[in-house]
Structure 1
Amino acid sequence: MNLANWLNDAARHWPERPALYEGERLVANYRTFAASAGALATALRDDYDIAPGEHVALFMRNCCEYLELLHAIWWAGAVAVPINCKLHRSEAAWIADDAQARLIFTDDGSLFAEGELPAQCRELAGRGSMIERLKQAAPLLAGPIRRSPDDLAWLFYTSGTTGRSKGVMLSHGNLTAMSLCYPVDVDPVSADDVCVYAAPMSHGAGLYNFIHVRCGARHVIPASRGFDAAELFGLARRLGQLTLFAAPTMVKRMVEEARRQGYGGDGIKSIVYGGAPMYLADLQEAVATFGSRLIQIYGQGESPMTITALSRELIADRARSDWQRLAFSVGYAQSCVEVCVVDGSRHPLPPGQPGEVVVRGPTVMQGYWRNEAATGATLVDGWLYTGDIGYLDQDGLLTLTDRSKDVIISGGSNIYPREVEEVLALHPAISEVSVVGEPDSDWGERVVAFVVLRPGEQVSAQALNAWFVERMASFKKPKRYLFSQELPKNSYGKTLKSELRRCL
């Protein structure tokens, strides 16, 4: 049940298939990809004394070596600790310490000053001459170390929008179940596909490598090693069958660039989006631009990429009378999980009644690393309590309203920030908006909207409220508008409402 077996199998079945690309340059076929992972696994064991079950961190920008090292870690029976490359090195050092990592790979091996890393953790260069020597010199470990489905594989640290991030423990079995859901519930995979890693590989983009390895598809790291819409369009035109995972903010930037170019998506197979709300106005523009290429997934680190999905067919069918209801939702439960909505006493709620979304199935984490209190509060009787508020309809369609901590209670009524944001996002002058609650002595809380206007646009708070009350109940309208140049976001592109509240 070692995830590295999929790479080993692909190399035996299709050794000459192209595997790794930097931009349009072929770096490795599946034979050399697997050989590199096996050799690096041997080096981890023999040169650095990494035993099965020990932790190895990756704090690197996207690159082909990232995929080689990930599979080498599992080949050696160890546990990968991917750290978002956008974090500050002090945050990465904290994660390495909390995770008890023995090694941390960085781009050049010289990122941390002496004493910044915990004593047991050694920094190594993940790119360059040292890695190339290890790949060439180390004898090939015969095959991946045998692991059980419950053995830890991926220690993922949450994005930490409030307080310290927590280490989500994901096993080989968890990630296998997640991967097998993808072609059933999200998007069929073939060897002709090109999986492009434009979002950080420490997160959702990296998790989708498994099923593409299993199917012998191509893996492309953009030459920029990150997200650039124009670069992605060039790769799509030249390589074809391009598929990628993107946050909604990335999709929005792709739409803007496509309109500048007059580009309609030629060469793009699939854009799988998730990780934050996709506002209806933005989705309408994306469908108008790219057509039937958009697929939505809803998941979280604790059930990675795998709670619900909304198919390309449903998203693209604007002629449906219920399209807006579908588009506002996050789709239907994926095939290996159960989804339920419960009240504060943990009792299931009837269709249409909002409550906390809970999920159970083989993708749900084992718990939080060295945090029994958080684990006990989140995993109850086999169910993962997501902290998200939503409701199911009679057909099983799940619609999210907000995170439980973000719900605004004003005058005894619940106001869900997302529904206010959805209305404001439709205003032609608004580029981005985020809504939070502010303490109020009379009402308990009042609604405050942080607004980013489109370039060259101006609009008053009074005009926005007049526009708002034509579309939604007046008691939900913002009592204050704060205009900003940009909204604070974490390293995954999620708006930091905790930061906005501190501005009040």
Structure 2
Amino acid sequence: MNLAIWLQRTAKQHPERPALFEGAQQVAEYREFARRVRSIAGYLGTFENIRPGDRVAIFARNSIAYLELVYGIWHAGGVAVPINAKLHAAEAAWIIENAGARLTFSDASSMTALRDRLASGADAVRAIDGDKFDKMRNAQEMYDPLERSANDLAWLFYTSGTTGRPKGVMLTHGNLHAMAFSYFVDVDVVLPDDAALYAAPISHGAGVYNIQHVMKAARHVVPVSGGFNAAEILDLAAEHENVHMFAAPTMVRRLVDAAKANGVNGQGIRTIVYGGGPMYLEDIIEAVDVFGPRFCQIYGQGEVPMSITALARETIADRTHPRWRERLASVGTAHSCVEIRISDLDGQSLPVGETGEILVRGAPVMAGYWRNEAATAKTLRDGWLWTGDLGAMDEDGFLTLKDRSKDVIISGGSNIYPREIEEVLLRFPGIREVSVVGQDHPEWGEVVIAFIVSHADQEVDSEALDDHCLNNIARFKRPKRYHFVEELPKNNYGKVLKTELRRMLERLAD
């Protein structure tokens, strides 16, 4: 079933419900939202010759037009190829050509640079804003969405590519159906008076979370800034009320800091779903202290969109369970639509409590990597997706992430998990952010190095940090050096780029 059907159904049943907002200003109700999508689909089919299965790329910041275009592509039977708006034009051009995109929509400000980088198809770049896009919104309508099956491709998502060229994750209509349904079961409810606020990139997980809000005729709010600004988010939440949003852990940290600085408690926010990495324990404890029980957590990957595990708001807010801190440091229990097991290198399941690679199978797992049979065969084996993440499962089914397998530090023959050290360091007064990586060492194989960001008004002493670590973790896990930096390198989703930290160490060594 074509995902676009849900928008058309909602528009028929709730035509006058408010749908699209730019900041505080309403742009369209559901009747108009659906009409625009039918017109965009009609234009794509008639004037751009987009046929079922054709890829259409979007290289743009968040906007109302982005949501309209995604549904227009689906309605016409096409495949949306969302591209991180902060990528260089050369990187975006590589993705467009690898995907074989028939057409690309871009912010007007990026079009010239993008066209200059495209080896072919430069004439197939269109602006996602301006008069020409407005004409698309008023073209002759394609009334019904073209038929698509559960196995047909809907969303071709390219991984971050921090260790090489990005891979195209093939997500089908069926994959996204499962993601949406499991949200209602495992994460949160959506009510018609709710508002989905898109502060995180629509090109990533926040974008696919639009689906369940369309199904329930909720509102869709894109900040005027087109991105994440903590003060703007807090103001919009108070204006709209009943706000849902997806946020990376670093975004939650910035929201909490902004709320504390302004003496507010997140009024108007009903749910913040955080993911893209688990929250550090001390950060989520403080977030609940400031905002109250407004948080849910999900763990997923591009290959299993938003749908591996979930940690309910009741569990996150609970302080009565004897192991509440342990559960709060986890990423929750399996989504209802997947199976999870912890495996050794040979694919054998490990006992409760032991650390191994996290394997997942179920309805939301990707169909494979686009035109990359070798990577697909390595990642999908015997029906299971090998995530590359290391974790341990407790007797109650709570999964705790240890690290990415590539980030594990092997020193003197012992495995050291950076996250464990990061959690300890974050409990030290004055530390705002920390990231731990391994550095090559001729005797030990690797040694532990910590990058520290301290609060501007506080000094952090290396000797005191050593004492703190020795009082909380084994001596062999203690960092051998601390590098104090003003900020940690991150991608536009807030994830720390440990690859870049390792490059920094190489430069320092030189």
Query: What residue is the counterpart of 2:261 in the other structure?
Result: 260
Instruction: Give the deviation of 1:459 after TM superposition.
Output: 2.1
Instruction: Give the deviation of 1:182 after TM superposition.
Output: 0.6
One-letter code aligned to 1:392: M
Q: Secondary structure at the match of 2:102?
A: strand
One-letter code aligned to 2:4: A
Post-superposition Cα deviations, 1:395-435, rounded to whole Å, max 9, x if no partner, equal: 11100100001111111111100000000011111111110
One-letter code aligned to 1:120: G
In the TM superposition, what are the counterparts of 1:28-43 in structure 2 within 5 Å? 28-43=28-43
Q: Is the 8 A contact 2:352 2:395 kept in 1?
A: yes
Query: What residue is the counterpart of 2:388 in the other structure?
Result: 387
- Whole-angstrom CA distance in 2 between matches of 1:110 and 1:230: 27
Instruction: Give the deviation of 1:110 after TM superposition.
Output: 5.8
Q: Secondary structure at the match of 2:401?
A: strand
Q: Secondary structure at the match of 2:483?
A: strand
Query: What residue is the counterpart of 1:98 in the other structure?
Result: 98
Query: What residue is the counterpart of 1:129 in the other structure?
Result: 131
Instruction: Give the deviation of 1:120 after TM superposition.
Output: 3.1
Query: What residue is the counterpart of 1:498 in the other structure?
Result: 499
Most deviating of 272-281 and 373-382: 272-281
Instruction: Give the deviation of 1:319 after TM superposition.
Output: 3.0
Distance 1:110 1:236, change over 3 A: closer
Query: What residue is the counterpart of 1:180 in the other structure?
Result: 181
- Whole-angstrom CA distance in 1 between matches of 2:107 and 2:421: 43
One-letter code aligned to 1:269: R
Query: What residue is the counterpart of 1:353 in the other structure?
Result: 354
Sequence identity of aligned pairs in percent? 56
- Whole-angstrom CA distance in 2 between matches of 1:199 and 1:459: 32
- Whole-angstrom CA distance in 1 between matches of 2:74 and 2:189: 25
One-letter code aligned to 1:124: R
- Whole-angstrom CA distance in 2 between matches of 1:22 and 1:28: 10
- Whole-angstrom CA distance in 2 between matches of 1:203 and 1:44: 23
Q: Is the 8 A contact 1:96 1:118 kept in 2?
A: no
Q: Secondary structure at the match of 1:139?
A: coil
Instruction: Give the deviation of 1:494 after TM superposition.
Output: 0.9
In the TM superposition, what are the counterparts of 1:107-256 in structure 2 within 5 Å? 107-108=107-108, 111-113=111-113, 114-120=115-121, 122-136=124-138, 138-256=139-257
- Whole-angstrom CA distance in 1 between matches of 2:184 and 2:197: 17
Q: Is the 8 A contact 1:89 1:112 kept in 2?
A: no
Q: Is the 8 A contact 2:361 2:383 kept in 1?
A: yes
Query: What residue is the counterpart of 2:413 in the other structure?
Result: 412
Instruction: Give the deviation of 1:277 after TM superposition.
Output: 3.0
Instruction: Give the deviation of 1:335 after TM superposition.
Output: 0.5
One-letter code aligned to 1:481: Y
Post-superposition Cα deviations, 1:117-157, rounded to whole Å, max 9, x if no partner, equal: 24235110111211111222x22112100001000000000
Q: Secondary structure at the match of 1:34?
A: helix
Post-superposition Cα deviations, 1:349-400, rounded to whole Å, max 9, x if no partner, equal: 1100000000000100000001111000000011000000001111111001
Query: What residue is the counterpart of 2:88 in the other structure?
Result: 88
Instruction: Give the deviation of 1:115 after TM superposition.
Output: 4.0
Post-superposition Cα deviations, 1:199-258, rounded to whole Å, max 9, x if no partner, equal: 110001101000100110000001111111111111111211001000000000000000
Instruction: Give the deviation of 1:109 after TM superposition.
Output: 7.2
Post-superposition Cα deviations, 1:86-127, rounded to whole Å, max 9, x if no partner, equal: 111111111101111111111227623454224235110111
Post-superposition Cα deviations, 1:43-98, rounded to whole Å, max 9, x if no partner, equal: 00111111111000011111111010000000000000000111111111111011
CA RMSD in angstroms comes to 1.0
Q: Is the 8 A contact 2:4 2:74 kept in 1?
A: yes
Instruction: Give the deviation of 1:26 after TM superposition.
Output: 0.7
Query: What residue is the counterpart of 2:508 in the other structure?
Result: none
Q: Is the 8 A contact 2:379 2:385 kept in 1?
A: yes
- TM-score in terms of structure 1 length: 0.98
- Whole-angstrom CA distance in 2 between matches of 1:27 and 1:191: 17
Q: Secondary structure at the match of 2:448?
A: strand
Q: Does residue 461 of the first structure (1) align with residue 462 of the second (2)?
A: yes
- TM-score in terms of structure 2 length: 0.97
Q: Secondary structure at the match of 1:503?
A: helix
Q: Is the 8 A contact 1:10 1:215 kept in 2?
A: yes
One-letter code aligned to 1:34: A
Distance 1:486 1:215, change over 3 A: same
Q: Does residue 425 of the first structure (1) align with residue 422 of the second (2)?
A: no
Q: Is the 8 A contact 1:3 1:176 kept in 2?
A: yes
Most deviating of 461-470 and 201-210: 461-470
- Whole-angstrom CA distance in 2 between matches of 1:127 and 1:187: 33
Query: What residue is the counterpart of 2:59 in the other structure?
Result: 59
Greater than 6 Å deviation, 4+ residue runs = none
Query: What residue is the counterpart of 1:339 in the other structure?
Result: 340
Q: Is the 8 A contact 1:110 1:125 kept in 2?
A: no
**Which ranges in structure 2 are unaligned for 5 or more consecutive residues?**
506-510
